[in-house]
Amino acid sequence: MITIDSEKLFDIPQREMLLDQSFGPSRGLKTCERLREGRLPSRGLAFVARGNDQVLGTIRLWDVAVGTRPLLMLGPLAVSPACRGIGLGSDLMVHALAQARRLGHRAIFLVGDAPYYNRFGFHEKAAEGLDLPGPFARERLLALEIEPGALSGVSGMVRPTGPVPLRPENGEAARGFRAVA
């Protein structure tokens, strides 16, 4: 049986392997990593799909802001190659979005494939005021307004606002990456 659960500390090694497998060794160079490095995920918004004590999927959301307007950044989302196409990615998305809504968040953005994320309500139009601290493909910058109009009038650079771990080595990308692209 596969269940979706809050990510635990003991999930981290398997999660790292899944991300290496899914995105390759250059994953630390993504612009979104600039908004994650040295931070912890948003409180209560990191999940894994687990089956037979294996991490089969992962999703995290992060606290960011444009000016004084808070929002969330979603990613990475990854599912183990052997388990793709059976709805696990969708289950992780639906679960994470429901929890974000329950926690009172008003808007989420991500950088990803529109043909996949459109089905969850993410669109380029909602993200048009957002800018990122590095290169990105504009058509891949997508956003979801949990509360209608939450992103209207929002314009500017996204900056990280998430919690910084007490031990820096526990932050994201504490593996020697320099996020340059």
Ligand X SMILES: CC(C)(COP(=O)(O)OP(=O)(O)OC[C@H]1O[C@@H](n2cnc3c(N)ncnc32)[C@H](O)[C@@H]1OP(=O)(O)O)[C@@H](O)C(=O)NCCC(=O)NCCS
Residue whose entry in the numeric block shows the structure tokens 């289950």: 91
Nearer to ligand X, 9 or 82 (CB): 82
Q: Does 115 bind ligand X (CB under 6 A)?
A: yes
Q: How far is the CB of 75 from ligand X (least distance, A)?
A: 7
Residue of the chain from 41, 89, 160, 162 that contacts ligand X (CB under 6 A): 89
Phi, psi angle pair for 59, to nearest 5° = -150, 140
Q: How far is the CB of 164 from ligand X (least distance, A)?
A: 25
Phi, psi angle pair for 135, to nearest 5° = -70, 145
Q: Does 87 bind ligand X (CB under 6 A)?
A: yes
Q: Which stretch binds ligand X (CB under 6 A): 8-16, 60-68, 78-86, 144-152?
A: 78-86
- Write the DSSP symbol of residue 165: P
Q: Does 176 bind ligand X (CB under 6 A)?
A: no
Residue 160, preceding bond cis, omega within 30 degrees?
Answer: no
Q: Does 84 bind ligand X (CB under 6 A)?
A: yes
Q: Does 85 bind ligand X (CB under 6 A)?
A: yes
19-38 residues near ligand X, rule: CB under 6 A: 22
Nearer to ligand X, 92 or 158 (CB): 92
46-65 residues near ligand X, rule: CB under 6 A: none
Give the residue among 160, 145, 71, 77 at the shortest CA–CA distance from 111. Answer: 77
With helix as H, strand as E and coil as C, how does 124-151 read? CHHHCCEECCCCCCHHHEEEEECCCCCC
Q: How far is the CB of 90 from ligand X (least distance, A)?
A: 3
Residue whose entry in the numeric block shows the structure tokens 């329950």: 102
Residue of the chain from 14, 51, 116, 179 that contacts ligand X (CB under 6 A): 116
Phi, psi angle pair for 62, to nearest 5° = -130, 145
